[in-house]
Amino acid sequence: MLEELTAANYGLSAAPEDNPTVEVDNSLPRAVLRQGTHLLLDGSWKFALDPDDLGLNEEWFEGHDYRYVAQWPGSIEEHIAAAHATTTAGWQDKVVAWYERTFDLPEVVGDRARNRSLIQLTFGACGYETRVWLNGQLLETIEGESIHYGEYTSFTYELPEENLHLVNRLTVRIADTMDAETTRGKQESHVYKRGGIWYQTFTGAVRSVWLESVERNRLRSRVGVDSVIEDKLVRFNLTLRIHDAADYTVRLRVFEPDAAPNIAPLAESDFPLHLTSGQHEQRLVLEVPGAEVWCPENPHRYRLVAQLIDQTGYAAQIEARFGLRKIEARGRKVYLNNEAIYLDGILYQPGTATFAEMQRHMYAMKELGCNLVRVHIAGIDPRIYNLADELGLLLWVEVPSPHASTPRSRENHYAELKRMLSLMETHPSIVIWSLYNEDWGAQDIATNPATQRYITNTYNFMQLAHPQFLVIDNDGWHHISYHGQLKTDLLTAHLYTPDLGRWRELLDRLVRGELEGTAAFPLVVGDPYFYRGQRPLIVSEWGGFGFSDYGGPQDAEARTNSIRDFKRELRARPIAGDVYTQATNIEDERNGLIGFHTGKLDVPAGLLNSRSHDKPC
């Protein structure tokens, strides 16, 4: 019942008691948390297809006769199938769907609470193009978007109090196309059709949506973390949402994750700020004396409690788990916390996996002996990043790629990168970012100065603004050299062969710096580049045993033996890491080592662990 929103510290009721040691609920798909209850709007929604795209002109947001019911969250493709709307099930150009439901207005308790708080509506992810109406009035996101683009990250609306009724009608229009200039990942488009390594579209209402009350003046659920382990300094990037210009204090406190109530913080500091109305980005630095670093062998995290305190002493609070860690590429090796580390990785494509299935996959990849998971050009539930933090799994994440190289595709790519960064830079587990993969969306990378310039500028931006990550310009081949310097922190190659002798030959060519004839295309484009061991080499895709395109079907025993033999050759050479392809079967790619639904291993545990011993960090 919606009345639950008035309990405890739902923001339109009484203010919460200040207790920074109380655990906060983490059932929502987000990583940074705030106190209070929420109302999930998941479940049955009215649903209608709009194949002729008439709904805007006919003003369906003012009222419409919906023919079907759909379960949110779920993809448009699932909803089309469930509604037996067979004429649209095979859409190859554009799909438009409308969703609607009602919710009751929570009881307001006290004028003081009313003046301090507002109701916030958040979509965990929805797309590619989303418009939302409250009682027929078009809403704008906090960023001022009347149309939200993207389908991999959350976005939020503040509901206007004057437009709230006792019973409220929420209407959502979702549109997607096969447009190759949008950020699609491995979903089919006009350029890449479904089949082989290209998957069916999975778009629309793909993650939860919820209501909660928040303070008018608050810290948003976004916390960036950049630590310097040598002097135990942690740089926190905070986002503040202010309606009432005034003097405020930001108070940061750091606790052990299991600190008992009323325990003194490990570190604490106040930062006075004069804030105007609007949204503000602010970096604050805190020293955590004696802090342990985070690493796979000891994934130690701390709990940040951040408060925005107004002149009456009221504190709007969020909290996040974070870890201190440092990642570097020096010479031929990757260093984590100043110790050389070999990256035993695996390629992971979550596809249509549920949250529970993704959890099982993460535990299984850890059981395989991986210390690195490459989440392949997809956005996933933020709680999975939290789980990687907890398990000590390093993550390599990627911007879902467009499928065409144009000025508009580059604009969409950069916007998607910025959206992902704003919500994902909390996690110590995330250590590597790929901008592109195998030229997808950058097909002219070898010849077009505009494409090379965009990737170079984006790499430079990442180095300056987000130094806590290693960045790869275009994974697999066609890395960019500018004045003889690579615009990538890792020199990566995709090498596929089922033949062990050919495997040895390819690895030898790679470590000798033979940039042509090793991968499918030259490893470096742009200015001349001469490899002399000045970048770590990563074989970032290999194997694929069981997928006919990569070497033919093999039984589990044959795959196990091949993996052991191929890993042995990798470790015999000055290579910094590798990524086996892949974790689970997905559509036509039948090369997984883990049951997609069960999370059970099809090969022996520890198979991908080539590290002779684990050093404590």
CA–CA dist 226, 228 (Å, integer): 7
Out of 2.40.10.10, 3.40.640.10, 2.30.110.10, 2.60.120.260, the CATH code matching 32-215 is 2.60.120.260
The residues that bridge with 48 in the sheet, in sequence order, are 98
What pLDDT score was predicted for residue 588?
A: 87
413 — pLDDT class (breaks 50, 70, 90)? very high
Exposure of 290 in the CB half-sphere (CA atoms within 13 A): 6
Q: Residue 15 is encoded by which pair of tokens?
A: 């203010």
- Angle between helix axes 407-424 and 382-391 (nearest 10 degrees) is 50
Spatial distance between the Cα atoms of 318 and 308, rounded to a whole number of angstroms: 9
pLDDT band at 375 (very low <50, low <70, confident <90, very high): very high
pLDDT band per the 50, 70, 90 thresholds, residue 70: very high
Are 97 and 76 a contacting pair, CB within 8 Å?
yes
Amino acid 246 reads A
User: What is the secondary structure of 211-241 as a DSSP string?
Assistant: EEEEESSEEEEEEEEEEETTTTEEEEEEEEE
What's the rounded Cα separation, in Å, for the pair 493 and 510?
8
Q: Is a pLDDT exceeding 80 seen at residue 49?
A: yes
pLDDT at 313 over 60: yes
| Percentage with pLDDT > 90 across the chain | 80
What is the reported pLDDT for 549? Answer: 75
- Return d(Cα 205, Cα 173) in angstroms, integer: 10
C-alpha distance from residue 514 to each of 406, 446, 506, 511 (Å): 31, 17, 10, 8
What φ, ψ does residue 567 adopt, rounded to 5°?
-65, -35
Per-residue model confidence (pLDDT) at position 479: 98
Residue 170 reports pLDDT greater than 90 = yes
3-class SS letters over 526-571: ECCCCCCCCCCEEEEEEECCCCHHHCCCCCHHHHHHHHHHHHHHHH
Residue 561: pLDDT band with limits 50, 70, 90: very high
pLDDT over 70 (residue 504): yes
What is the C-alpha to C-alpha distance for residues 345 and 539, in angstroms, rounded to an integer? 10
**Which residue in 64, 70, 400 sits closest to 204, CA to CA?**
70
Q: Does residue 616 have a pLDDT over 70?
A: no
Examine the pLDDT at 15 and tell me if it is beyond 50. no
Mean pLDDT, residues 133-137 taken together: 98
Cα(317)–Cα(252) distance, rounded to whole angstroms?
Answer: 10
pLDDT interval class at 16 (50, 70, 90): very low
Model confidence at 64, pLDDT cuts 50, 70, 90, reads very high
Confidence grade of residue 411 (pLDDT, cut at 50, 70, 90): very high
User: pLDDT of 184-222, one tens digit each?
Assistant: 999 989 899 888 888 888 889 999 999 999 999 999 999
Percent of the chain past pLDDT 70, that is, above it, reads 92
What does the pLDDT look like over 230-269, one tens digit per residue? 999 999 999 999 999 999 999 999 999 888 888 999 999 9
Domain over 338-594 is classified CATH 3.20.20.80? yes
Q: What pLDDT shows up at residue 56?
A: 98
pLDDT at 139 over 50: yes
> Can you give the pLDDT at residue 90?
56
d(C-alpha 154, C-alpha 121), whole Å:
11
Question: Which pair of tokens denotes residue 449?
Answer: 């100065």
Q: What are the helix (H) ranges across 437-595?
A: 449-465, 500-511, 556-571
Top CATH class, 218-322: mainly beta
- 322-347 pLDDT per residue, tens: 999 999 999 999 999 999 999 999 99
Q: Contact 191/122 with Cβ under 8 angstroms? A: no
- Backbone φ and ψ for 154, nearest 5 degrees, come out as -80, 160
Average pLDDT for the chain:
91
- pLDDT of 393 above 60: yes
| CA–CA gap between residue 131 and residue 59 (Å, rounded) | 13
- What are the E-state strand segments in 356-429? 372-375, 394-398
Q: 42-56, 99-113, 177-191, 348-362: lowest mean pLDDT where?
A: 99-113
Residue 7: pLDDT above 50? no
The backbone torsions φ and ψ at residue 319, rounded to the nearest 5 degrees and listed phi first, read -145, 155
For residues 159-180, give the mean pLDDT: 95
The length of the chain is 617
8 Å CB contact between 401 and 185: yes
Per residue in 421-447, pLDDT (tens digit) is 999 999 999 999 999 999 999 999 999
Cβ(527)–Cβ(479) under 8 Å?
no
Domain boundaries, the chain: 32-215, 218-322, 338-594
Report the pLDDT averaged over residues 94-113: 78
Residue 110 has pLDDT above 80, yes or no: no
Give the pLDDT of residue 2. 35
Q: How many CB atoms neighbour CB 545 within 10 A?
A: 25
What was the pLDDT predicted at 53?
Answer: 95
Helix (H) / strand (E) containing 280: strand 278-287
| Cα dihedral: 86, 92, 96, 102 (round 10) | 60
Instruction: Give tens-digit pLDDT for 448-467.
Output: 999 999 999 999 999 999 99
